[in-house]
Structure 1
Amino acid sequence: MFNLSEQSKQGGAIGLIFRTLVRFLQLVLALTVCGLYGTDLNAARKADKYADSKWVYAVVVAGMSAVTCLVYLTPFIKAFYAFAWDFVLWVLWLAAFGVFGKLYIGEDPEGNGGIERMKNAVWVDLVNMLLWFITFVYSTFVFFHHRKRSLHTGRAKV
């Protein structure tokens, strides 16, 4: 069964709460991005137009992030072993922020609700990118800190 003392060895109870809160926030923001960009994809589908690859990319990255967060939030997964995947997701979010930031940060919405929504989506991309960077750095630190111990019991020094 779930053992709080076992889970909290990688940073104590505060570390457990911090990791859970950050992963939950990543999940919520990934689902938000799916909704923000999915609105335009759905409108294009209804109008029998092509789906722009930039929007598809953003939704795919958000979907991969959401699934990753769901996996990492399970109590028996030690997410710090997958620090390289956090790095990959950080780079993907960095690219999404760069692409949409270039398109919309300097854009004047002039009352256009779609452009205003996309300007807001850019800032959600930025927060996602920053959160994945934080979890990448934290997971990398924890991984290399615990690497010197046995993977089975955590007691032996290698």
Structure 2
Amino acid sequence: MPILSRVLSVILRVGEIGFGAVVAGIIGSYLHSFDKVDAWPEARWIYTEVVAGISILLALLWLLPFSSGFFMWPIDLLLSFAWFAAFGLLVDALEDVNCGGVFEWGRITDGGSCARWKASQAFSFLSAIFWLASALLGIWFSFRVRDRHTRPIAGDAVYGRRRRWYGRHRV
């Protein structure tokens, strides 16, 4: 069973890197267009770009299949919430643009700016789901490991209770 959790972790991390890279590329192209004008880009784009950059960096660091990556589930959960917030900000920004409804995906392959907006929304939502799945996998793994190390030993004097840290250990 540990091999399955490690394989799932690697698959989720690769997906997180890919989804973060797509969102960073799309939003980065919008930020680059503001380089030639005197206006500041909207804060929601900068926030989304920062979340994408942080998630790409952390997913690359935790891509290595060590068991310590499973214990980073609070950060995975935090990044999932950050991605859900970025998705909400992008949905709110799409209401200002005349691109149709949020979940109207009929013309996403047209290649226009509306298709890029909708693609950034979709990939930010997918990234949030993958980070949430990584957090759930990490919670499952860490509690499974904790339960394995706190099981009582049959010949132990205090069968059914955890041994204290200062007690004698079997060698």
TM-score (ref. length: structure 1): 0.80
Cα deviation code 1:86-128 (max 9, x no counterpart):
1110110010111112332795438892232112211111111
Change in Cα spacing, 1:76 to 1:136, as seen in structure 2 (3 Å) is closer
Tell me by how many angstroms 1:156 deviates. 8.4
Tell me whether 1:73 sits opposite 2:37 in the alignment.
Answer: no
RMSD (Å), alpha carbons:
2.6
TM-score (ref. length: structure 2): 0.74
Match of 1:133 in 2: 132
Cα deviation code 1:113-145 (max 9, x no counterpart):
223211221111111111111111111111122
Q: Select the structure that is richer in helix.
A: 1
Change in Cα spacing, 1:57 to 1:156, as seen in structure 2 (3 Å) is farther
Query: Are the counterparts in 2 of residues 45 and 51 from structure 1 also a CA contact under 8 Å?
Result: no
5+ long unaligned stretches in structure 1: 1-10
Match among 30, 34, 39 for residue 24 of structure 2: 34
Larger radius of gyration: 2
Q: Distance in 2 between matches of 1:77 and 1:56?
A: 33
Q: Percentage identity across aligned positions?
A: 23
Match among 94, 103, 106 for residue 104 of structure 1: 94
Query: Are the counterparts in 2 of residues 97 and 125 from structure 1 also a CA contact under 8 Å?
Result: yes
Query: Are the counterparts in 1 of residues 17 and 55 from structure 2 also a CA contact under 8 Å?
Result: yes
For 1:48, give the aligned amino acid: D
5+ long unaligned stretches in structure 2: 101-109, 154-161, 163-171
Query: Are the counterparts in 1 of residues 76 and 134 from structure 2 also a CA contact under 8 Å?
Result: yes
Question: What are the equivalent positions in structure 2 for 1:1-158 lying under 5 Å apart?
Answer: 11-76=1-66, 78-104=68-94, 108-109=98-99, 113-150=112-149, 158=162
